Chains A and B, each alone.
Chain A
Amino acid sequence: MIVFDHVTKKFGDVIAVNDLSFEIRDGETVMLLGPSGCGKTTTLKMINRLIEHTSGTILVDGKDIEKEDPVQLRRSMGYVIQQAGLFPHLTVGDNIGTVPRLLGWKPARIRDRIVELVELVDLDPAILPRLPRELSGGQQQRVGVARALAADPPVMLMDEPFGALDPITRQRLQEELRRLQQRVKKTIVFVTHDVEEAVTLGDRIAVLNVGGVLEQFDRPARILGRPANAFVADFLGKDRQLRRLSLMSVADADLLPESAEGLPEVPSSSNLRSALDEMLETGRRRLAVRDSDGTIKGVLTLESIMQMSRAI
């Protein structure tokens, strides 16, 4: 667990993070979301002491990080940044093995771990002997993630890791990170300015305002449904109800046990946003919901979608 207790960071007279208090639970993904100048990266870097906080206390697993050796502290946390920051003079394999080598693992164990990680992040082992500059941006970022996971740290700090990638690659890596997280169950702190990314990846989102003020800290559905104030509502954008629908599954809506004869169909695994899109596309207010085993589960109506969007 990571606890911020009245943490403030000043750069000279400028307040970057203002009296921040919140808790990140083990195994959850917390997104730090906000415009530039909101102190989200500063907040992240205070956790591994790349930036020292001015006042307040930060606890990791109950221990005050100020009393820890920064080098040891950082080795217990994975760190991924936007430009990947791979070492250009080392092979992909050596890049991934950096932290285990710092920790003094035996060579055979490091090699096994490297091969395991490459498979975990869905890279071809054939790239292990290559140099980072021979890889695409997406591949470099995967290597960055693998390198951060190498010593199996409980905490992962990610600073806009997918920010410099093209939209398609970014989306794919986001999906992979989600799948990866289901397997590895890390405590992830993830900085982003992209609402879509925050909503897709986060268990909870901390919305920060300029000057390092925490405006709201809650689950994505609640933040989208009940923004705490005008700033949050504004930052999330005009389409936040639609974004919220994308978080809800068709299977969770109230389905009517009516005849589905002649209705357009949606799979029960899709989300309410796609269902609504299907309604707009076909001009119908009712859709047949088909389960993965092929049976019709019932009928989804526009009214039940609206009802879902009202519920919090």
Chain B
Amino acid sequence: MVIGVLADLGTFWSDFRDTVSANYDELFTRTIEHLSIVAQTALISSAIGIVLGILCARYRERLAPLVIGTASVVLTLPSYALFGYFGVTLGYNDRAVILALTLYAMLPIIRNTYVGLTQVSPAVEESARGMGMSGRQILFRVRLPIALPVIMAGIRQATVLNVAIATIGAAIASGGLGTPIFHAIGRSELTLLLAATILVAAVGIGADLILGLVERILRERYFARARAALLLRLAR
């Protein structure tokens, strides 16, 4: 029996290899497209989401419940319907896909920016103000850097989520790994489906790793310079 399973696995593996090499160009192009869609979405949604999060933290009572409530509702919309809506209204292209994905990314980014900014200790804010920092300096030099890890966690969560959701975008546009998946389903090609799915997962893991790296660089950059300068000075 063991030999039977191994033989099946062997057959499956050679089958898999054949499928990948037969569709190599297609899969490669689609992966790049997928990455590009997700990356554009990450940039756009981070810019919009962080600004909205800052506004929510600024106008805690009036704006925060409204914006965060709306972003939560967006997340409950069925993705197929949302993609369909933008496909119909904006045309069947990547732009429509990116817009829908941006909406899905809003909640984690806005919420984390808001939480990260509002959790900065009042003592820290008060001393910043008391030392003569302007409102803008307090935001950019104190509150945002302190909130950075929380904000980045939101961006990572949104992006990883979008790597998966982006496949559905193939319903309205031809870009990304959703296309081979839809093909595979239509032609009952399970091996192709598996290959494309593995690639989606790999893109997800890759995106998470890259964003983790971005976070580390941003965080380290903050005191690395001062640390080096001081150590030099002390060593004299």
Contact = CB atoms under 8 A, between A and B. Distances in A.
Contacts of A98: 131
Contacts of B229: 107, 111
Given A74-B131, A81-B127, A89 B121 contact: no
A89 B146 contact: yes
Contacts of B124: 85-88
Contact of B226 (A50, A88, A91): A91
Contacts of B146: 87-89
14 contacts: A73-B132, A75-B131, A79-B127, A86-B127, A87-B128, A87-B142, A88-B121, A89-B219, A89-B222, A115-B234, A126-B234, A129-B231, A148-B131, A157-B130
Point out which of B127, B129, B230, B233 has the most chain A C-beta atoms below 10 A from its C-beta.
Answer: B127
Contacts of A14: none
B143 to A, nearest CB: 10
Given A74-B130, A91-B230, A157-B130, 4 more contacts: A89-B223, A102-B131, A128-B234, A129-B230
B121 A111 contact: no
A89 B124 CA distance: 11
Contact of B132 (A74, A82, A93, A97): A74
A83 interface: yes
Interface size class of A (residues with CB under 8 A): 35 or more
A128 B128 contact: no
A48 interface: yes
A7 B222 CA distance: 43
A111 B230 contact: yes
A93 B128 CA distance: 16
Contact of B123 (A85, A115, A128, A147): A85
Nearest to A101: B141
A196 to B, nearest CB: 24
A75 B129 CA distance: 10
Nearest to B145: A89
B89 interface: no
B63 interface: no
Contacts of A83: 121, 123
